Amino acid sequence: MAGVEEGFGFEFADDHRAMLGAVLPTGPGWPDWRSDDRDTLLGLLAQPVDGVLFDVVENDFWHESRGERPSDDDAAVERAEAHLTTAPRMIPVFFHRCLPAGRGTFGNPVFSLHQTDVVHYGFDLLDYVANEFHVRTPDRPRRHPAPIPFWDDLVHGGPGTTR
């Protein structure tokens, strides 16, 4: 996994890294970090940010944390891109289900990201896999997902978002 991280400029979260070290799911929807071509993986990695930028231009999406929206779409995209560089990078797990990147992190929520339609799909990776694939896991207490800057603001059209 270190070669993937170095080649693409991110670090897997510890639980994501452990999962991929134990099993490398393959088939439709699963990023194949060992065999997919570089352009395919770059496209998957770009989807979360590209989706937000698409909504900025096509659906008048704006978040108040960026200040007043510029009237020019190019300027709005530029400001949104700058803001997104400060948000945790989202790494695809399965199709458009993503987990925040970051060595030394674990237990973060898995998000379903389709443009700015953002939903928690599991309070952590194990919860996500159990829910998505109907896998029975040991009983665990339910808890609220850990807060993730910016992306949590979009969950269910969170506060401060306009269209």
Q: pLDDT tens-digit profile of 87-126?
A: 999 999 999 999 999 999 999 999 999 999 999 999 999 9
- Number of domain units in the chain: 1
- Write out pLDDT tens, residues 126-154: 999 998 998 877 777 777 888 999 999 99
| Higher-pLDDT residue of 98, 24 | 98
73: left (phi over 0), alpha (psi -120 to 50) or beta: alpha
Nearest CA-CA partner of 99 in 131, 83, 122, 81: 122
- d(CA 133, CA 123) in angstroms, rounded, equals 15
Q: How many CB atoms lie within 10 A of CB 151?
A: 23
Domain that holds residue 138: 2-162
CB 113 within 8 A of CB 90: yes
